[in-house]
Structure 1
Amino acid sequence: MGESRVEKIDVSGAVSSWNPAYLKTAIEKSDPVPEQKNDPDGIRAVVAGTLGRQSKKVSVREVPDGTLTR
């Protein structure tokens, strides 16, 4: 990012299979592994908080497994 301004953060993937806890702790180090959970707002909050951005700057969208979006 450097001196560039961040206008939007896009989180895309199999969102319905993620748990916001996945983004806080490496799955390999989780004991027990967090259950799958459809929580786009939780994912948005974790990403925004970790990056120090407002939640409204983060979009979370479901795309099928294996779909290349960017």
Structure 2
Amino acid sequence: MGESRVETIDVSGAVSSWNPAYLKTAIEKSDPVPEQKNDPDGIRAVVSSTLGRQAKKVSVQETRDGTLTR
């Protein structure tokens, strides 16, 4: 960040239960709430698009506790 270059972006969390729409709209403000969806490629696409990075620089992985950590 700043003068440093971002090489990779790691998204870790409950990938199997997140819908990429969760990352675009606050769940509390979504009506109806998006269904759970196992879509790591969709999450990768939203994150890379939002941050203006190539999708190949974004890794998406499931964590055991199911919490979106980073």
TM-score by length of 2: 0.91
Q: C-alpha root-mean-square deviation of aligned residues, in Å?
A: 2.0
2:11 alignment partner, SS class: strand
- Equivalenced residue count is 70
Unaligned runs of 5+ in 2: none
Q: 1:27 to 1:50 in 2, by over 3 A?
A: same
Give the distance between the partners of 1:46 and 1:67, measured in 2 at CA: 18
CA 10–35 in structure 1, closer or farther in 2 if over 3 Å, else same: same
TM-score by length of 1: 0.91
- 1:3-41: per-residue Cα shift (whole Å, max 9, x none)? 210000000011001000000000000000000000000
Cα distance in 2 for partners of 1:23, 1:29 equals: 12
User: Relative to 1, partners in 2 of residues 1:31 and 1:10: Cα closer, same or farther, differing over 3 Å?
Assistant: same
Runs of 4+ in structure 1 off by over 6 angstroms are: 67-70
Aligned-pair identity (%):
90
The more displaced of 59-68 and 26-35 is: 59-68
Say which is worse superposed, 38-47 or 57-66, in terms of deviation: 57-66
**3-state SS of the aligned residue for 2:12?**
strand
Mark the runs of 5 or more structure 1 residues left unpaired by the alignment.
Answer: none
